[in-house]
Amino acid sequence: MTLKRFFRRARWDDERARELESYVAIETDENIARGMAPRAARLAAIRKLGNRTRVREDIYRMNTIGFLDSAWRDVRYGARLLRLNPGFAIVAILSLALGIGANTAVFELLNALRIRSLPVAHPEQLAEVRVVGDVSAKSGWFSGNHPELTYPLWERIRDRQDAFSDAFAFSSNDFELSEHGESRTAHGAWVSGGFFTTLAVSPAAGRLLADADDGRGCQAPPVAIGYGFWQREFGGSPAAVGRTLTLDGHAHEIAGVMPRSFSGIEVGRGLDVAVPLCAEALSRGPRSALSRQDAWFLGVMGRLKPGWSLARATAHLDALSPSLFKETLPNYPADEAKKYLAFRLAAVPGGTGVSELRDAYESPLWLLLGTAGVVLLIACANLANLMLARATARSREIAVRLALGASRLRIVRQLVAESVLLAALGAAAAALVARVLSRALVASLTTANQPIVVDVAFDWRVFAFVAALAGTACLLFGVAPALRATATGPVAALKAGGRGTIGADGFALRRGLVVAQVALSLVLLVAALMFVRSFRNLATVDAGFAKDDLLIARFGIRRTTASNEQLAAGYAELLDRIRHAPGVVEAARVRNVPIGGSSSDRQVSIDGVERPEAVNYNSVSDRYFSTMGAPLVAGRDFDTRDAAASPRVAIVTQSFARVFFGGRNPIGKTFQIVEAPGKPRPPIEIVGLARDSKYAELREPFQSLMYVPVAQDDLAPGFARLIVRSAVPPSTLSATILALAREAQPSSVVTFRTMEAQIDDSLLRERLVAALSAVFGGLAALIAAVGLYGVLSYMVVRRRNEIGVRLALGADRRDVLRMVMREAGVLLAAGLVIGLIGAVALARMASAILFQLKPTDPATLAVAAAGFALVAIAASVVPAVRAARLEPTEALRQL
Amino acid sequence: MPKRGNQPIQGEMLQGTLDLLVLRTLAAGPAHGHTIAYVIERQSDDVLQVEHGSLYPALHRLEDRGWIASFWGTSENNRKARYYRLTMAGRKQLTEQTNRWDAIVRAVNRVLRPA
C-alpha cells in the first residue's frame, strides 16, 4: 500500500492540485455571486484557501517514504556530478568494469566447471561410486577420461547394490565418424542402458536409450545423439531420427536426440553421441575391455533412493566390497593383489558431474580468481583515493552544510550515492566485459582435438557474485572516504578556507592507500614474472629430442579381414613408402608419442631380482632415434634382425643405466619384464644406449625408460602411430601421407598433428596462467602508478603556497624537485618492501606449480621491483616537474 | 497569510478534532472540500475558523485510512469537484470518536468545574 502510494505520489500531487484549483473556482463563483469583481473574487478565494504549496507538500510528505525519496534525489545528484566530470567517471567506471569483469569471467568459468549442478532433475540425489584405498595399486589397462572401475566390478555393483534406485556406467570415447581418409571424431561415450533413465533426461526428438538397447553381445545397437551434434551434422532435421550413423566403422541407427540443456555428465567435454556400452566390444573387437578384470575404463553413478544419504550408501558399498573385489581379482603379482583385495567402494557426490577439465583447471582458476581479486582491490584503492580528493575539493561545501545543521548521515549518504552509481554502472559494464572475457577464456582452453563445451551463462550465482563484488568495492572506495570527509568538525573545515584541506589525517590515509597499492601490485608483478619464467623454462626445457619439424600421423584401420601379421607388415610397408616421399627426412613407428600425455610402464627384474621402481616403457621401429634427432649414445639401433620371433632386445636410456647398472655401460646386459604370474618372462638383451628423453609430459624429470622393437610389443593391431621428420613445413606433408595411406589400405583413417601443436597443447594450462597473470600484473602496476601520480599531484597542489614561499625565498628549483621525488621515494620504498615480503610468502605457497624456479628467485624479485620502480618514478616526474616550475608570484597570490 | 509559528500549537489540538468534524459533516451526505469547510464554519456559528487549505491534508489522511472515499463529480454551479463520502468504517469511526470526544469533554469539565 505504502509503496504503491510512493510510486504514485506524483499522480497524487497532480490530483490534489486539481482539487485545490476546483476549490478556488467554486469560491470565486460564490464571491462573484456575493458581488465581488471577478479578479478580486479570485484573489479572495486564494487567500481563503491559504498556502496551497504547503498543503500539497504536506500531502506529498504523507505519501512519500523519506529515505527512498532522498536516496533517489541523491542518485540523481550523483549522476549530475558524474556528468560534470566525465573524465573521472570514465576512469572510475572503466577500472571497475575491468576489475569486476575479470573476476566475473574467471568466476563464470569456475561456476560452469565446478559449482553448477548438472542440468538434470534433482542432481543432489546423484552419487558416484569410487574405489578408495591405495588406488595407485590399480594397474592394467586404462581408457576414457574417468577410469574408476572395471566392467566386472560394474556388473556386480549393478546387481547387488541396494542404495540406488537406478545406476549407470559410462566411459568416454572419441568415435571415428569417417570411413576413410582424414579422421573426423565424435566426442561421445559408451553408456549403460540406465544412463538416461537414471538422469531423468527426456528426448528432444525420437527416444533415448533404455536397458533393452544394452544387451551383452549386441550387434550395432541404436544410439542417441547430442543436440549440438544434431544441429551440426543434420541441421536439426527431425528426419535424422532413424538415419544411420557410422561410428568406428559400424552402422548404428539414431534412436533420438538429447535435449539442448543436456551435454552429458562430463562437464566441459560435451556429448556428441551416447552408444550402448555393449557396443564397446564392436569398436575394440578382441581387445574389448568388457570381460577384462584389469581394464579400468568405467565411471559409475547412481540416484540415491529416498532416505539414503551418501554416508549410508558408502557404508552399504563398503559392506559389499570384500566379496566383490575377491571375485574380480585380476591376474596381479602378489603385492598388487593384496592391495586390490583391500580396495573399498564409496559413494561421493555426483550432482556436479565429473570433469577432466575441472581437475586440470580448478586450482589455476582459483589462483586467477585471487589475482583478479587483488587487481580489483588495487582499483578500489585508487578510486578511494580519487573520491577522497573529490571530497576534499568539496570540504568547504560539506562544512557549510554541516554548520547549517545537515546530519552527518545525510551527507555521507549523498556522497555514497555517487559511489553506488559508479559501482552499479561499473558492474553493468563488467557484465559485458565478462561475457567477452569468459568466451575468450573458453576459446583459449580449446585445443584441436578437444573442443570445450561449457555453458558460461549468466545465472543467478554469477549475478550474486557481481553484485557482491560491486557492493564490496563500493564500500571500500565510497563509504570510507565519505566518512573521512565528514569527520572534520565544521569549524575546522571552514577555517581551512577555500584551499579545501581535510587535514593531515586524510592525507595520511591517501598515502597509506598508495603504499598498499604499490605493495599489492608488486606481489602480482612478481607472481606474473614467476609464472612467465616458469612457462618459458618449460617451453624451452631440453626434451631429449629435436622438437621442430615433426609430424605425428595416427592410422586407424577398421573392418579388415587382414591378420595381425599382415597388418603389421602393411604398416611397415607404409612406413617405407613415407620415408621415400618427397619432403620426408625420416620416419618411424612408435607406441606412445612423447609429450602426448600417454605413457606405459613396466617393472623389471635384473639378475632375477624384481625391482620396485616403475620403468617407463615404449616400443619403436628402427630409425626412431634418428627421426627424433636424438642419435644413440652407444650400441645399435633396432633393425630387421629384431623380428617378433627373434631373441628379445631393448634400447635403454642413460637414466635406466644409472638406476639399474650404476651408470656402467649396460650394452650386452640382460633383464626381464615382470609379467603376471604364469606368463613367460623371456630375457631381454640391451643392444643400445639412448639419450634421456621426456615421455608423458615436459614437466616430469628424466626418468628411466626402455624401448623395445614394435615387432616384439603387443600393440593393438587396429592402429599405428607414425612420427615423421619433415624438410618442409610439417602440416604440408599431410596430403602426401594421406594419399600413400589410401593406396596401401583404402579404409584407413588418418589423424595428423604436429609435435609443435602437441607440445603447445600440453602447456596450455601454464601458458594460460602465465598470460593472464601477466595481464593482471601489468594492469595492477598501471593502476598503482596512476594512484601514485594522483597522490603526488595532490601533494603538490596542497603545498603550493609552501613551495611558492620556498621559491620566493630563493630555494633552487632542483630542491623542490627533490622534495617531491623524496615523497615519491618514501611511498615507493615502503610499498616495495611490504610487497616483496608478501611476494616471497605467496611464492612459497605456489612453489609446487613453478617449474625449475625457486620461489625466492632473486633475479625475478629484483626485475619486478626495478621494473615497478621505473614505472612509478616515471609517474612521479610529472607532478615533481610541475611543482618545480611553479611561479612563486602566482602561488603566493593564492595564499 | 497565517503565521507558520502557531501551526504546531493548533495542530496538536486540531488534528483529531478536525477529523471528527469532517466525518460528522459527511454523515449528512457526500460533499466536496469547499462545502465541508463552509459547513464546519457555519454550524459552529463561525467560532471554528478552519483554514480551508488545512482541510485537504485531513481529507487525504482520512481517505488513506479508509474512513472516507472520494470521486470526481460536478458541483451545484457546474464545476468539477472532488466529492467525499463516508464509508462504513468511517461511520463506525464517527460513533467511536464522538463518544470519546464526549468522554473527554465530560472529564475536562469535571476538572475545570468541580461540583
Instruction: Profile chain A (895 residues) by mean pLDDT over runs of 10 residues.
Output: 66 82 87 88 86 80 72 84 82 85 87 83 92 83 86 94 93 87 88 93 92 87 94 91 90 93 86 93 84 91 93 94 92 84 92 82 86 87 81 78 82 84 89 87 77 75 85 81 74 57 61 87 89 90 91 80 80 91 93 86 88 90 94 92 91 94 91 84 93 90 93 82 91 87 83 89 86 87 82 79 84 86 89 90 78 82 88 86 81 64
Q: How far is CA A325 from CA A131, A293, A473, A701, A744, in A?
A: 10, 10, 55, 35, 46
Taking the mean position of all CA atoms in its chain, how far away is CA A428?
Answer: 22
Comparing CA positions, the residue from A314, A319, A354 lying closest to residue A169 is A354
| ipTM attached to this prediction | 0.80
Q: Please write the tens of the pLDDT for every residue from B32-68.
A: 888 888 888 888 777 777 778 888 888 888 888 889 9
DSSP letter, residue A354: B
In the predicted model, what is the mean pLDDT of chain B?
A: 80
Instruction: List A254's β-bridge partners, or say none.
Output: A223
Say if the Cβ atoms of B79 and A25 lie within 8 Å: yes
- Neighbouring C-alpha atoms within 13 Å toward the C-beta of A488: 26
d(CA A344, CA A315): 10
- For residues A642-678, one letter each, b for 16 or more C-beta atoms within 10 angstroms of the residue's C-beta and e for the rest, the string is beeeeebbbbbbbbbbebbbeeeebbebbbbbbeeee
Between strands A550-557 and A295-296, the pairing is unpaired
Q: How far is CA A793 from CA A310, A513, A805, in A?
A: 62, 15, 18
Between strands A295-296 and A299-304, the pairing is unpaired
Residue ranges in A763-851 assigned as alpha helix (H)? 764-798, 800-808, 813-846
Closest Cβ–Cβ partner in A23, A48, A58 for B57: A58
d(CA A779, CA A93): 15
Compute the nearest-CA separation of A413 from chain B (Å). Answer: 30
Q: How far is CA A652 from CA A588, A600, A610, A668, in A?
A: 17, 15, 17, 11
Which residues of B lie closer than 8 Å to A, measured between beta carbons? 1-2, 32-34, 51-54, 56-57, 60-61, 64, 75, 77, 79-82
Closest Cβ–Cβ partner in B2, B56, B79 for A20: B56
Residue B5: its pLDDT value, please?
35
Instruction: List A251's β-bridge partners, or say none.
Output: A246
Residue A683: its pLDDT value, please?
93
Other beta carbons within 10 Å of A110: 22
| Run of H or E including A566 | helix A564-579
With a cut of 60, say whether residue B8 has pLDDT above it. Answer: no
Residue A272: its pLDDT value, please?
93
Query: Is the Cβ–Cβ distance between A429 and A87 less than 8 Å?
Result: no
Confidence of residue B6 (pLDDT cuts 50, 70, 90): very low
Residue A722: its pLDDT value, please?
93
Q: Touching check for A13 and chain B: CB below 8 Å?
A: no
Say if the Cβ atoms of B34 and A26 lie within 8 Å: yes
Instruction: List A182's β-bridge partners, or say none.
Output: A750
d(CA A796, CA A506): 15
Classify the phi-psi angles of B76: left when phi > 0, otherwise alpha if psi is within -120 to 50, otherwise beta. alpha
Q: What are phi and psi for residue A458, nearest 5 degrees?
A: -90, 85
Residue A491: its pLDDT value, please?
67
Q: Which three cell numbers stand for residue A147?
A: 577410469
Chain B residue with Cα closest to A50: B53
Closest Cβ–Cβ partner in A15, A22, A48 for B52: A48
Residue appearing with cell numbers 563500493: A474
Q: Report how many Cβ contacts below 8 Å link chain A to chain B.
A: 61
Comparing CA positions, the residue from A697, A564, A563, A711 lying closest to residue A624 is A711
Q: How far is CA B37 from CA A49, A641, B16, B83, in A?
A: 10, 124, 16, 13
Between strands A250-257 and A244-247, the pairing is antiparallel
